Chains A and B, each alone.
Chain A
Amino acid sequence: MDRHYSPTQKVFIYIFYVILLVFFLLPVVYIFAMSLKTEAEVLDKVHLFNFYPKRPTLENFGRVIKNVRMDMYLANSAKLVITTSIGVLLAAFPSAFALSRGNFKRKELVMMGVLFFQMISPIIISISIYWYYSKLHLLNTYSGLALIYIAIHLPFTTFLMKGVFDAIPRDLDEAAHIDGCSRFATLLKVIIPTAVPGIASATIFNSINAWSQFIIPFFLISDNKLYPVSVGILQAQGSYQDVSTHYLAAASVIGLFPAVLLVLFLQKFIIRALTAGAVKG
C-alpha cells in the first residue's frame, strides 16, 4: 500500500517517531555505554547528550566474570534454556498433534482449558511447589527447576504448535497413512519436518522467556551455584560498595546480550510467535 504524506504530516509523524525511538533505545544504549566506562568516568556527570564513554574499556566485563561469577550464571542459564526448549517441545508435540488432527467434541474448550493455565502466575504455583519440593528434596536441584520451566512454557507452546500443525495440509497425513505410517510415524516423519519454521519460532520465543525467567529460581533456589543470570545479577547489585555502577552495567549487558542478539538476527520469528499467539488469545 502506497500512501503519500504532506510535509506537515511528515513533521508530526517524525516528532512522535523521535520521542518514541529515544524512549525505547535510551535505556539499552545507556547500559551499554555505562558498561564500557572506567571508574573515574562513572563519576563524571552525564546527561542525555554526553553519556557515551570517552575512553571505552572492556575491563569491567573481566571483573564481573571473575568476581560475580557471571560466567557460571551464564552457563546455568544456557543449560536451563536448552533443556526447557527441548523438553517443552517433546511434551507439546503429541498434544498439539491430537488437537490439530483429532476429532472430538469441545476441542475449543480443551484449548481454553490448556490456555487457562497461562493466566496463573508462577508466583502462585511456587508457594505450594516450594512446600512439596522441600519434602521431595527437589529444592536446589537443577532437574526440579527444569521441570517447572517446562511446565510454565507448555500451555503457550502447545497452543502455538497446534496452530503450526493446522497449517500443514492433511493430504500429507493421508499420503503417509497410505504408505503404512502409524500416527506416531506420521508425526515424526511428516509433520515435524514440515513444521520446522514454526518450531523455530516457538523455540526462540521460549528461549527468550526462559532466559528472563526470574520468579521460579529466585523463590526456589538458595544455592548460588545454581543461579541463572537473572537471579545471579542481583548479587552484583548488592555485592559492590561505593562506585559499582560500571560493574553492574557490565553484568547487565552480559545478561541481556543473548536476547538482543536473537532480536537482531531472528526478529521475524519472534514477531511470528507473538502474532500467532494473539490471533486467538
Chain B
Amino acid sequence: MRKGASGPLLILFKDILMIEHNKRWILQWFLPVLIILTLFYLFPLLDAIRLSFTNARIGLANVKFSLSSYEAVLTDPDLPVVLRNTVIFVIFTVFCQLTLGLLVGLLLETHLKGMGLLKLAMITAWVVPGVIAGITWNLLYSSASWGVINNTLELFGAEKISFMTNPSWALVATIIANVWRGTGFSGIMQYGALRGIDPQLYEAASIDGAGSFRRFWGITLPMLKPMLMINLVLITISTVNTYDAIWALTKGGPGISTTVLSLQTYKSTFLRLNLGQGAVYAVLMILSSTIFTAIYLRMMKEENRG
C-alpha cells in the first residue's frame, strides 16, 4: 500500500476505468460491487470526514463548515479518558486473544482425546452475538444470587469483586468478556497455520536433540509469524470497532470508565444528536486503526532488517 490508505482506492478506480477495450466486460461485471461499495462505504466514509468539519446536528437547519466540532471534541475533558480506555482495551484484548489462540492451537495440535470439544466450545463462544455475550457476562459478574463468579470466589474464601461498579474492574471485566468472544477467530487461524508446518522440521530438530521448548522457539514461533502478524492487524481493527458486547455489558460505565471510542461515537451522534462531533470521533476511530496497523508494519520491517 503506497500513499497510505487512499492509494489502493484511487488505483482501483483508475484501473477499472482504464481497462483495455476488449476487457470491458470486466468493468461491467464489477458494477454491482462498485455501486454498492461506493454508495454504502466510500460515500458515507468521505461524508463522515466532511461532517466532522461542520457543526451539523440532527434537526439543525443551516449547517456551516467550521472547526467547532474538532475544537469541542479535542478540548473535552473526557477525551483523554476515552483514549486511555481505548488503548488499554485494544492492547490487552489483542494480546490475550493472540496468546490464548496460540495456546488453543497448540492444544488442538496434540490430537489428544477431547480436543474436539475444546474447538467446539471456542467456536461456539465466537458465534454468540455480541449483545448476548454482554448480557451473559453481566449476569456472571453480578454480586446477586446468580453471580457465579463472585459466589465461587466467596466459596473459596476470597472477597467479592464489584466488577460492574468499580471503574478499574469494569474495564478488566470488559476485556475478559471480549477475549472470550474473540479468541475463536485467532485460535482457528493459528491452528490452521500450525497444521501447515512440515512435521519433518520437528523430526530433524528432535534428532539434533532439541527439547520441546527449543522446538517451540526455534520452529513453531518463526513459522507462525506471518499468520500472527495478519491476525494482529485483523484483531486490532475489529477490537477498535467493537461496540455491541461493551454496550450490553456496561453501557460504557460506571461513569465513562469503559467508554471506548466506538461508544463515544454512538453517544455523540445518536444520544446527543451531534453529527459533527460524532463524525470527529469516527475520524479518531479510523486514525487509531491506522496508527496501530502502522506500528505493527514498522515493527515487522525492523525485525526483518535486524
B128–A230 CB distance below 8 A: no
What is the interface of chain A mostly: helix, strand, loop, or mixed?
helix
Among B9, B107, B244, which residue has its beta carbon within 8 angstroms of that of A16?
B107
Question: Does A241 count as interface, using CB distance less than 8 angstroms?
Answer: no
Q: Does B78 contact A (CB under 8 A)?
A: no
Identify which of B37, B47, B151 contacts A117 (C-beta below 8 A). Answer: B37
A188 at the interface (CB under 8 A from B): no
A27 at the interface (CB under 8 A from B): yes
Are B110 and A30 touching (Cβ within 8 A)?
Answer: no
* From B33, B262, B275, B286, contact of A95 by CB (8 A): B33
B33 CB contact (under 8 Å) in A44, A91, A122, A183: A91
Contact of A92 with B33 in the complex, beta carbons under 8 Å: yes
- Which range holds the interface residue count of chain A? 35 or more
- Nearest-CB distance from B219 to chain A (Å)? 14
Number of interface residues of B (CB under 8 A): 102
What number of residue pairs across chains A and B have CB atoms under 8 A from each other? 295
The reply on A169 being an interface residue by CB < 8 A is no
Give the residues in chain A near B145, CB-CB below 8 Å: 42-46
Cross-chain contact A278 with B45 (CB below 8 angstroms): no
With A113-B8, A155-B37, A278-B231 known as contacts, the answer to whether A214 contacts B243 (CB < 8 A) is yes
Are B243 and A16 in contact, CB atoms less than 8 angstroms apart?
no
Residue of A nearest to B119 (CB): A267
What are the interface flags for B25-55 relative to A under an 8 Å C-beta threshold, 1 for contact and 0 otherwise? 1100111111011011111110110010000
**In the complex, are the beta carbons of B146 and A46 less than 8 A apart?**
yes
For window 78-125 of chain B, which residues contact chain A by CB distance below 8 Å? 100, 103-104, 107, 110-112, 114-115, 117-125
User: Majority SS of interface residues in chain B?
Assistant: helix
A102 within 8 A of B: yes
Q: In whole angstroms, how far apart are the Cα atoms of A246 and B306 in the complex? A: 57
Cβ of A3 < 8 Å from any Cβ of B? yes
CA gap between A231 and B47 in the complex, in Å: 26
With both beta carbons as reference points, the residue of chain B lying nearest to A233 in the complex is identified as: B131
Residues 54-79 of chain A: 1 if any B CB is under 8 Å from the residue's CB, otherwise 0? 00000000000000000000000000
Binding site for B on A (CB under 8 A): 1, 3, 5, 9-10, 13-14, 16-17, 20-21, 23-28, 30-31, 34, 42-49, 51, 90-92, 94-95, 97-98, 102-106, 109-110, 112-114, 116-117, 119-132, 147-148, 150-152, 154-155, 158, 183, 208, 211-212, 214-215, 218-219, 229-231, 233-234, 237, 245, 248-249, 252, 255-256, 259-260, 262-264, 267, 270-271, 274-275, 278, 281
| 7 shortest interchain CB distances as A-B pairs | A113-B12, A151-B40, A121-B241, A212-B129, A128-B47, A214-B244, A24-B121
